[in-house]
Amino acid sequence: MKKQNIYLCQFSLAFPGEKKILYLPYSVGLIWSYARLDNKVNETYDCNFLIEKKPIDKIIEDLEDPKIVGFSSYVWNHNYNLAVAKAIKEKFPQCIIIFGGPSVPYKDKDFLLSNYYIDYVIYNEGELAFYDLLCNLQNRTAKQDIRGIGYLEGDVLFANDSTRIQNLDCIPSPYSEGLFDNLVKYYKDRDVTLNVILETNRGCPYGCTFCDWGNGILGKVKQWDISKVKKEIDWIGKNKIEFITVADANFGIYKEKDYAIAEYVVETKAKYNFPKFFHYSMSKAFFPVHVEIAKLLLGNGLLRTFSVSLQDKNKDVLQAIKRKNISDEGFENLYKMCKKENVPIATELMLGLPNQSYDAWMNSINYFHEKDIYTVWNPTSILPNTEMNRPEYRKKYKLVTEINVMPSSEYVDEHEEVIVQTNSMTKKDLNDAILHTHIIDVLHGHGFTDMIAKFFSKITGKRLIDFYILFFNYFITYPDTVAYDWLNPLKNHVEDKKTYALYGGATNYPVFQRLGWTERKRFFSEIEKFLHTIIDKKYAKDLIAVQNFRQIHSYDSKETILELEWDVIDYVFSNESEINHSAVYKIVYTPISKNFDTFASFIINGRFLKKWKASFHKQSQ
């Protein structure tokens, strides 16, 4: 008997860059690898996976008599999924359409009424629900017994409660079972970079109000046996997969086991030269082994950054979002250990949270940069199944939102609902907090002005961030400067709906290329003029010279001798309160690797590990 076709779709986010990057469809792979354990399911159905967004006509044209099409929906593919699903139902009215994933609102009748072409929605974990549904279609399970689904009968919603899988190890890995082998072959032949999700545990004991993951049904953490994880890492190495993103909310929570996983990744890289990167979110509870894990991965070139997600460090904010961060003392210990071990740290933060104020936020940003901790900020968007989405929460914290089109949209606009005003920040406050943070990120975090800002801070007793606020206030009044061209279009970004241009990472590409390469000389001479307005002019020339060499900006090897009239380097790095006359430094300057085709890509990739830095060595005179 000919098998019936199931299609499971987990369309990837579009990443900027020349080479296409796609993620293998781990979540829908799991639901099929679990369902097909049942012989009757396996004998009846064939399953195909779709991961690449294409014109919708093309997707429909390529489907062969689809019996069931399932979609994993999140912010970067939800509207596209809906458009594809609608087109499928029009062409194949008998095809059963199923939606699951974080963008499916929980037990919401209106969602099914307005998207009438969806037959079933799955709430929470998908494995049991999808299997039950297939059994129901084979008349082996009654509809009311399907765990964790919703459907309409007439205009009445039937929504069954979910059941948590008790033992994750009963789900075979889609990687080691070979479910993605065809996808790997197909895309490798087309020179597409494939990334994977690795899950070593599932669930989160915390309950941050902006997140749909913690508490509730996924509140208890369940773990996979390490043997499954190791088999997957083997598969990843053998299939030359470059990038592993760990899905765990708290990697490192199982200290010895997680260290052993990191060790195995290192061994696998040594054996196959793959994977190249291992990216994870560290556990919120801090253990010294976390620094060991980071050191091990960094030492083997597998970690881009040791990132500690805090979202905010202000207690009022953390209380409003029910976030339990690492304690201040724990963070200090972590910071000291990292400093001792030479492990650079980055922190992820969110802007637009309740109880945040402009002043407290800027103080936090200053705190991190004082410690040379790289900051990454994200806007706060409201997701459907979160406490933040509840009317009473929105009301309590006076949340004002706007719907933005995501810049990564392909074929169909994807929307995100972003907070633009709260009980404690006006739109203007939020606009300025983002803008000033962006300036610090670009200029301080990437070595354009970090030495100058540190000098300014020490000599004036003002904060680092005050330097950047003065920078903005100065250049916004000089229309014929490079910095004006960069900042003027962004000054009212919230009102102008341009905030996505300040998100950081690859969006900074044009500004890095311009300030650091095509107009470098002009930009640095403009900074020199600006310095004349905020510090004693006599230091400006030396500061500009030092800063210019501080940031690597050449493909050629250099060992430069820099003669300074004032020893501004020693002043910045020492506890000295006086600035000494004349000093000579040798600058050790590792050139930009030829692997980077542009200055901007070098700076973007080197940001967390501060690879943009040259080092200064004082010479005896």
Residues found near ligand SF4 in the complex (CB under 6 A): 204, 206-208, 211, 213-214, 249, 284
- In this chain, which residue has its C-beta nearest to ligand SF4? 214
Measured from the CB atom, the residue of 58 and 324 that comes closer to ligand SF4 is: 324
- The phi, psi pair for 617, rounded to 5°, reads -125, 120
Measured from the CB atom, the residue of 206 and 367 that comes closer to ligand SF4 is: 206
CB of 207 to ligand SF4, least distance (A): 6
> Under a CB-based contact definition with an 8 Å cutoff, are residues 272 and 302 in contact?
no
Measured from the CB atom, the residue of 211 and 609 that comes closer to ligand SF4 is: 211
Sheet of 581-589, strand order: 558-566, 581-589, 615-619
3-class secondary structure for 53-117?
CCCHHHHHHHCCCEEEEEEECCCCCHHHHHHHHHHHHHHCCCCEEEEECCCCCCCCHHHHHHCCC
Measured from the CB atom, the residue of 202 and 304 that comes closer to ligand SF4 is: 202
CB of 281 to ligand SF4, least distance (A): 7
CB of 312 to ligand SF4, least distance (A): 12
Question: 576: which 2 tokens?
Answer: 């000295």
Measured from the CB atom, the residue of 284 and 514 that comes closer to ligand SF4 is: 284
Q: Bridge-partner residues for 66, per DSSP?
A: 5
For 434-495, the DSSP string reads: HHHHHHHHHHTTTTSSHHHHHHHHHHH---HHHHHHHHHHHHTT-TTSHHHHHHGGGTTTTT
CB of 27 to ligand SF4, least distance (A): 16
> Under a CB-based contact definition with an 8 Å cutoff, are residues 404 and 500 in contact?
yes
CB of 292 to ligand SF4, least distance (A): 22
Measured from the CB atom, the residue of 358 and 393 that comes closer to ligand SF4 is: 393
Measured from the CB atom, the residue of 174 and 214 that comes closer to ligand SF4 is: 214
User: How far is it, in rounded angstroms, from Cα 139 to Cα 288?
Assistant: 54
Distances (CA, A) of 282 to 35, 251, 308, 472, 609: 32, 5, 6, 34, 17
Measured from the CB atom, the residue of 366 and 380 that comes closer to ligand SF4 is: 380
CB of 564 to ligand SF4, least distance (A): 47
3-class secondary structure for 138-200?
CCCCCHHHCCCEEEEECCEEEECCCCCCCCHHHCCCCCCCCCCHHHHHHHHHCCCEEEEEECC
CB of 378 to ligand SF4, least distance (A): 11
